[in-house]
A and B are shown apart, each in its own frame.
Chain A
Amino acid sequence: MNCQEVSTLLVVYLDGEVTPSERTLLQAHLTGCHACQERLAELSALQSHLSRSLHLIAAEAAPPPDAWDFVQAGLASSSGSKLLMWLQRLAPGVDSTYLALQGGVKMKRGFAFVALGVALVAVTLGTVAFVPAARARASELLSIWFRFESPFGDGEAGMSGPIGFIPLRPTYLPPDLQMGGSSIGGIEPETLELTYYREQQFVAITQSKAPADATLPAGRDVSINGQPAVLIDGLTGTFSPFGSAEIAYTEGRRLIWYVGETRIEMLSNLSEEEMLKIAASMAPAPSQEGEPPVVPPPPPSGDQGEGMTGGGSLESNP
């Protein structure tokens, strides 16, 4: 065996994977070749270094605590996606996002069934309601829904799936906002907006499916749970929480980042530190099978700006 042939087998030899005859030939060559002995020693050191480094790198990584929630959401949405596609073929343009209410969670004004005072809170928009065959199918679509609990446990809302991405919700809110109002809605199909507000403070979190080229806009680079994000400072404008007075702001911030295939955009006039903390706390909304609980919307209240209204007791989930 010459040095060239030995060189290609040194790694395999160190890994103990050479054949007995190869081992005999290799050892015979190595006994008399200092250059190959040196190469062997270098390779052995490199292997050890590589192995140690890979273990150190991997030791820093661990699945998130809610990884099983992700899998469950995937198992649930994979069984619903076929129904959604059927429904969209039957009634093109239908918005498959609808809401169920519990407790004091407010609805966005844009949803027509609130204005109509319909008692059934879970409803699909568009032409589906007028297609008799689709009405029965719509109830099947209700078989998977996502729960959005406020971080302090009072009140919850639901949203049907699948919507093309895994919806997230904050598990942390600043203490002031915890006593404020919140709403959930979707302006367009496959967009989810969670808003939390109290007096002059607000945070609006918009989620949508990430585009194919998942890029970030220009802005100041920050990090959320080790992932790149962009923060845009110095925004001026007004924010209109549903059913509450308009909030004017001059030091607003917009934070944009991706979590898997979900694009998240947060607009707020909170401090940067609080925004980053809320962002880092975002976790998948738990999903459940079965139809979401059906309760009447809360009666109109004179005080719509603060506090989670205490209308009705929480029903148990199906």
Chain B
Amino acid sequence: MDLIRRSQAGDEEAFAELFRQYQDLVFKTAYLMTGNADEAKDALQEVFLQVHKALDSFQPSRGAFTTWLHRVTVNRCLSRRRKHHLPTLSLSEDFPMSASPRSLAEGDLEELDAVRQALIRLSEKLRAVVILRYYQELPYAEIAQILNIPVGTVGSRLDMALKALRKELETPTEPAPTRGALSQREVAK
């Protein structure tokens, strides 16, 4: 809270530290929402630009800073996709596999890919509640505050999402549509 107060007072070092503390939270949420590392990086920049601009209006009495940060992040991910009309790329192409292929068995990798495919097929509204609940592990009340929806709607959206995901994961499907005929090749390093 001291960091926020100092940032609000114009302390740029404090804001830089605020960024360092919360960049992972924003980036990983954006990464799961958009399925694209570059979009996540852009979202990270835009979120913190917005935070910097609107920090004066943040009041701790109205909720946690992380709740506000989640709200800005999710809204930014949704608005970026609408604004820039960037092609939707398959998660299976955008999530880098090279980080941990050796530590996962082949069967696990296939399951992970299946979850990715299923997640990208969800609508953005359903994807948001899934990520906030099952990745960020937030309570319904906080998710409701982030998405500006009733608490009951959080539950019904999660119910719909899990039913859709169960159906996707039980049924062998074609991979999610890709842009053109792209294939991946890891850059030799």
Contacts and interface: CB of A to CB of B under 8 A. Distances in A.
Most buried by B among A43, A56, A221: A56
B38 A75 contact: no
Nearest to B49: A74
B41 A70 contact: yes
B69 to A, nearest CB: 14
| Secondary structure call for the B interface | helix
B68 interface: no
A221 B28 CA distance: 27
A8 B159 contact: yes
A68 B95 CA distance: 22
A260 B115 contact: no
Interface residues of B, number: 67
Contact of B100 (A9, A50, A56): A56
A17 B46 contact: no
A225 interface: yes
A71 interface: yes
A61 B95 contact: yes
Interface in A210-248: 212-216, 221-228
Most buried by A among B86, B135, B187: B187
B19 A71 contact: yes
B183 to A, nearest CB: 5
B58 interface: no
Interface stretch (A85-93, A187-195, A200-208, A273-281): A273-281
B150 interface: no
B187 A53 contact: no
B181 interface: yes
Given A58-B28, A60-B99, A68-B20, A75 B112 contact: no
Interface string A259-295: 1110000000000010011011000000000000000
Contacts of B93: 228
B166 A223 contact: no
A78 interface: yes
Contacts of B140: 12, 15, 17
Contact of B95 (A17, A60, A62, A215): A60
B146 interface: no
A54 interface: yes
A50 B41 contact: no
Interface string B140-166: 100000000001000110110010011
Contacts of A64: 41
A63 B52 contact: no
A258 interface: yes
Nearest to A72: B16
B166 A46 contact: yes
A55 B95 CA distance: 13
Given A54-B115, A54-B131, A223-B187, 15 more contacts: A8-B159, A17-B139, A47-B162, A57-B95, A58-B28, A61-B27, A68-B20, A68-B23, A71-B52, A74-B45, A74-B48, A222-B187, A226-B94, A260-B39, A276-B187
16 contacts: A15-B158, A53-B115, A54-B115, A54-B130, A56-B104, A57-B95, A62-B24, A63-B40, A63-B41, A212-B85, A214-B86, A223-B187, A226-B37, A226-B98, A260-B38, A260-B41
Interface of A: 8-12, 15, 17, 42-43, 46-47, 49-51, 53-64, 67-68, 70-71, 74-75, 78, 212-216, 221-228, 258-261, 273, 276-277, 279-280
Interface of B: 16, 19-20, 23-24, 27-28, 31-32, 37-42, 44-46, 48-49, 52, 84-87, 89, 93-100, 104, 111-112, 115-116, 130-131, 133-135, 137, 139-140, 151, 155-156, 158-159, 162, 165-166, 169, 179-189
